[in-house]
Structure 1
Amino acid sequence: MNSKTHPATQPAEEQERRYPAAQLREQIVAVLQAWGMSAAHAEVTARLMVQTDLLGVDSHGISMLPHYDRLRGKGLVVAAEPVRVRRFGATSLWDGQAGLGHPVAHAAMQDAISQARLHGIAFAGVRNSHHFGAAGVYARLASEAGLIGIVTSSAKGVLVVPTRASVPVLGTNPIAWAVPAGEGRDDVVLDIATSTSAANKVRVRALRDQPIPAGWVVDEGGQPVEDPQAAHARLFERQGGGLTPLGSNETLASHKGYGLGLFAQIVGASLNGGAFAAATAADPSLADAPANIGHSFIVIDPAALVGLGAFTDSVAGMADFLHGVVPADPELPVLVPGDLEAAHWRERQAGGVPLPGLLVEQLRAVSTRAGVPFVLNPVD
């Protein structure tokens, strides 16, 4: 496309600006409340979305707002009030009432945290939910409380092509773990899609017109798709092909990502009454039905076992050992999961969150349609 008529093809440095996190929160809250979400749920959702952006997970923060706008009236009930429908021992089951996943996921994880303090371990399941952002922000709620957090989820999008298959069957079905490393230290946090890349990372690259790394997206013949607009079309406009499982191809052990994605579906959805999106998508009569995404939250209290101090000392010791390993490239030190996100957090708290120009215009349009002021002003 001609760069004069398509802003996404402009150089990233010409279109990307930084914006204060507080303004992002204000904009999200205003839009969500205009859509009918309660003030309390809007504040929780905005806080989680902006935390995601501050951590550098640009694919799951404010960039999702235009997508949520498109989902309204297509199975997403923004004004939903989640409810706990069952309690058995240290377990609970929640119903998201077809609303955005952030409020119900936050409530379920907080419940699991409380129950883990009483019982040593707890499980909270969610059904009838929708997209809940980044799984890691919920796992971090536990680690910030001195507990171990484990999160998994199903997804609405049928985007991942199983090993040896020619068509997508699974969602990106994320898994996240978070553990405390002790006072004054960054938590160790792993937050991954079970696909080689999350679908929304392809969306963000398309916004920035950045090439797609070979092995993220394949066509119906299994060949890599590297053009960002073509890859976006294959994922979001149903033009064939899809995302690869973690590992990319069978030679590089994509069966492992495929298996992880399947078990994330089973534990995140089947266990809680959530849907299998591929089966739902195959029924045209359910095109605008609620997504019925499932999430699962497991919390373990180290104090019930080895003790919190001994546990965090062990985690910190391993992290220090790994940081001290001689790197293959002196310019690229060995990291532990969560290091990059912690660095992004500190840098973006001080300097603002970078947003592509195309996304800013999309957010402006969303705000206009919602009838709320557009409050984003760049800091640079």
Structure 2
Amino acid sequence: MRRVSYETLFNELKSVLLKLGFSETKAKACAEIFANNSRDGVYSHGLNRFPVFVDYIKKGYINIEAEPTLIKSFGVIEQWDGNLGPGVLNAKFCMQRAITLAKQHGMACVALKNTNHWMRGGAYGWQAAEANCIGINFTNTIGIMPPWGSSEALIGNNPLIIAVPNKNGHIILDMAMSQFSYGKLEEYELKDKKLPFIGGYNQKGELTKDPKSIRLSKRPLPMGMWKGSGLAMMLDILVSILSGGQTTAAISESKQEKGISQVYICLDMDLYSNASQIADEILAYTKQGSTEVRYPGEQTLKIRKENLKEGIPVDKTMWESLKTL
């Protein structure tokens, strides 16, 4: 493991994207999202995920020239088509659109179909919070987790993000529906480490902390067991209805995670004058029992500060892979 500066990582990512044919503007925007993910400690969806993004472009799953197009508008509700463009750019666009509508009407819901992986969903929660908006966004995925009571991977690990702006540090919950996301499993596997808690089943059907065996079995444990399974199903239903896009079932038929559906909801916090006070009271109350308690997003701010000062940790194999792309 080595550390590189944010600027070095950003420039390397941007250079690859330019070679792939991205415009200067799009290359900068994409590279920034990937670099920010690694900067904030979400290495699984920063540098470590970048080669997969490049591979999807080369295979034609991602159209780098595509732009999102408006399908329907219902005032504070809009439907957009991502036209299989880069998921990170479609996501950033739709969250910004939700922010703009929320500033006009108080709240907004922008639904997106036919898009690609957004990488780290929390990035768009931070985007909303930095615009002083509550942000709620979620997506469906290819089927990579068994519903409770089954051993077959039929439901998506559909991430849910809830963001609340706060002057003392934005509060950002970013969670997949499994106890550990596939990206986090890969991160532990690269470090040759066991999971800190049981994360799923191995190929023998035994509960395990071994990330590789869980990834190979495609049987991660839903967080909250049947509750996480139920929430994953509900998120798939919501994104598919609101966007008019593909369900997890339809996405899974293609065997590739593309053409997915997403939702971005915003509420303008300028309408709530005592919001920060309420949030601070809740956080102070929750933290009084232990110094170990952290609010969602607190660790991210700590890691961001450390990585900007000392450099971003990069896996040697992933860094060498980036240099050859």
Task: Return the alpha-carbon distance in structure 1 between the equivalents of residues 261 and 152 of structure 2.
Answer: 23
2:173 matches 1:190: yes
2:241 matches 1:273: no
The alpha carbon displacement at 1:225 in A equals 4.1
Task: Return the alpha-carbon distance in structure 2 between the equivalents of residues 74 and 217 of structure 1.
Answer: 33
CA 1:348 to 1:255, structure 2 compared with 1: closer, same or farther past 3 Å? Answer: same
Residue from 47, 61, 64 that aligns with 1:78: 64
The residue identity in structure 1 corresponding to 2:30 is T
Residue from 263, 284, 296 that aligns with 1:320: 284
Q: What is the percentage of aligned positions where both structures have the same residue?
A: 27
Task: Return the alpha-carbon distance in structure 2 between the equivalents of residues 214 and 145 of structure 1.
Answer: 36
Task: Return the alpha-carbon distance in structure 1 between the equivalents of residues 318 and 105 of structure 2.
Answer: 45
2:171 matches 1:148: no
Residue 297 of structure 1 corresponds to which residue in structure 2? 264
Task: Return the alpha-carbon distance in structure 1 between the equivalents of residues 324 and 209 of structure 2.
Answer: 29
2:69 matches 1:102: no
RMSD: 1.9
- Range with greater deviation from structure 2 (25-34 or 159-168): 25-34
Task: Return the alpha-carbon distance in structure 1 between the equivalents of residues 125 and 16 of structure 2.
Answer: 26
Question: What secondary structure does 2:148 align onto?
Answer: coil
The residue identity in structure 1 corresponding to 2:238 is V
Residue 3 of structure 2 corresponds to which residue in structure 1? 18
Task: Give deviations 1:130-167, integer Å, cap 9, x for gaps.
Answer: 111111110111111111011101113x2111111011
Q: Are the aligned partners of 2:114 and 2:261 in contact in 1 as well (CA < 8 Å)?
A: yes
The alpha carbon displacement at 1:215 in A equals 2.8
Residue from 320, 337, 341 that aligns with 2:300: 341
Residue 119 of structure 1 corresponds to which residue in structure 2? 105
Q: Which has more radius of gyration?
A: 1
Task: Return the alpha-carbon distance in structure 2 between the equivalents of residues 23 and 353 of structure 1.
Answer: 10
CA 1:280 to 1:216, structure 2 compared with 1: closer, same or farther past 3 Å? Answer: same
Residue 50 of structure 1 corresponds to which residue in structure 2? 35
Deviation >4 Å, runs of 4+: none
Residue 9 of structure 1 corresponds to which residue in structure 2? none
The residue identity in structure 2 corresponding to 1:211 is K
Task: Give deviations 1:199-249, integer Å, cap 9, x for gaps.
Answer: 1111122222222445323135531244444344x1xxxxx44222112xx
Question: What secondary structure does 2:299 align onto?
Answer: helix
Q: Are the aligned partners of 1:195 and 1:261 in contact in 2 as well (CA < 8 Å)?
A: no
Task: Return the alpha-carbon distance in structure 2 between the equivalents of residues 131 and 298 of structure 1.
Answer: 18
The alpha carbon displacement at 1:126 in A equals 0.9
The alpha carbon displacement at 1:303 in A equals 3.3
Task: Return the alpha-carbon distance in structure 2 between the equivalents of residues 69 and 103 of structure 1.
Answer: 14
Equivalent positions of 1:341-360 (< 5 A) are: 341-360=300-319
The residue identity in structure 1 corresponding to 2:199 is W
Residue 200 of structure 2 corresponds to which residue in structure 1? 217
The alpha carbon displacement at 1:74 in A equals 5.0
Task: Return the alpha-carbon distance in structure 2 between the equivalents of residues 269 and 25 of structure 1.
Answer: 34
Question: What secondary structure does 1:292 align onto?
Answer: strand
Q: Are the aligned partners of 2:12 and 2:323 in contact in 1 as well (CA < 8 Å)?
A: no
Residue 200 of structure 1 corresponds to which residue in structure 2? 183
Q: Are the aligned partners of 2:39 and 2:304 in contact in 1 as well (CA < 8 Å)?
A: yes
Q: Are the aligned partners of 2:179 and 2:223 in contact in 1 as well (CA < 8 Å)?
A: yes
Residue 59 of structure 1 corresponds to which residue in structure 2? 44
Question: What secondary structure does 1:347 align onto?
Answer: helix
The residue identity in structure 1 corresponding to 2:164 is V
The residue identity in structure 2 corresponding to 1:154 is N
Residue from 222, 226, 238 that aligns with 1:245: 222
What is the count of residue pairs matched by the alignment? 324
Residue 255 of structure 1 corresponds to which residue in structure 2? 226
Task: Give deviations 1:321-342, integer Å, cap 9, x for gaps.
Answer: 323x132xxxx52211111111
Gaps of 5+ in 1: 1-15, 235-239, 248-253, 367-380
The residue identity in structure 1 corresponding to 2:150 is A
CA 1:107 to 1:58, structure 2 compared with 1: closer, same or farther past 3 Å? Answer: same
Q: Are the aligned partners of 2:144 and 2:156 in contact in 1 as well (CA < 8 Å)?
A: yes
Task: Give deviations 1:179-198, integer Å, cap 9, x for gaps.
Answer: 1122xx11111110011111
2:76 matches 1:90: yes
